[in-house]
Amino acid sequence: MSMLRGGLIQMSLKGSTDQSPEEIRQAMIEAHLPYIEEAGKKGVQVLCFQEVFTQPYFCPSQDAKWYAAAEKIPDGPTTQLMCELAAKHKMVIVVPIYEEDITGVYYNTAAVIDADGTYLGKYRKTHIPQVAGFWEKFFFKPGASNWPVFETQYCKLGVYICYDRHFPEGWRALALNGAEYIVNPSATVAGVSEYIWKLEQPASAVANGCYIGAINRVGREQPWDIGEFYGQSYFVNPRGVIEKEASRDQDELIVHDMDMALVREARNNWQFFRDRRPSTYDRLTDGN
């Protein structure tokens, strides 16, 4: 298949952080349902939501209240609902949620569901920040997913989550494992990150000869108000060209047709994979 129709949904928080995680989850699911329906009607083949899409970005706090937001994958309610919707719309869905492995062990995870509703597996965020406003180590254990690439009905799909995008090694590992399209669900605010939002992922698309779908949330979230989540979700092609971009401040579904023939063309043209010298890269893996 040469053309792949992708969809990205960006959204502001629904409800109040004073509510319980379950009440917020219900509100966020309800807000997403019309956009999922729209994606189905528009023939989207691969749909992705923003990072921890059922909740606020609660990491400015260090409040154990939010542990209650974690769900089992695949047996929890959100993943099960998305399996039903994927089958209904014949659409691959990437579902980024807060995952409970066992009580006290939690991950920032994305479940991947095939177009027939089959749960294919998950990716757990590998790189976990611990800086002012982003106290993620309080909430998330680092994942070690071994860079899975999911053989969906429509494409070979990889997932990289938010802060992961600053680390080129993971993009390369996903591409070497066969990923043609990689999604990066995020929660990132204006300031230092905004300038590089449109640099890093286009550069990674070029370096790895793949399409990338970058998703951010929108709005401001109280009481933390660490800044404006500036939206601008986008699709970028293997030449580093941003082909379609969402607004800065609106709840939105963007739909775009990706010419997957560009993946082979770009990789054959640049030959970055052929010219790698992994035997000289010991410094990258010596642990220091």
Count CB neighbours of 247 within 10 A: 14
Distance, CA of 171 to CA of 97 (rounded, Å): 21
Q: Among residues 117, 108, 109, which one has the least CA distance to residue 90?
A: 117
Query: In 209-278, which residue ranges form alpha helices assigned H by DSSP?
Result: 261-270
| Residue of 68, 30, 32, 59 lying closest to 187 (CA atoms) | 59
Residue with tokens 């090694």: 169
Q: Active-site residue numbers?
A: 51, 125, 162
Indicate the pairing of strand 234-236 with strand 242-245: antiparallel
CA atoms within 13 A on the CB side of 71: 23
- What span, in angstroms and rounded, lies between the C-alpha atoms of 16 and 201? 32
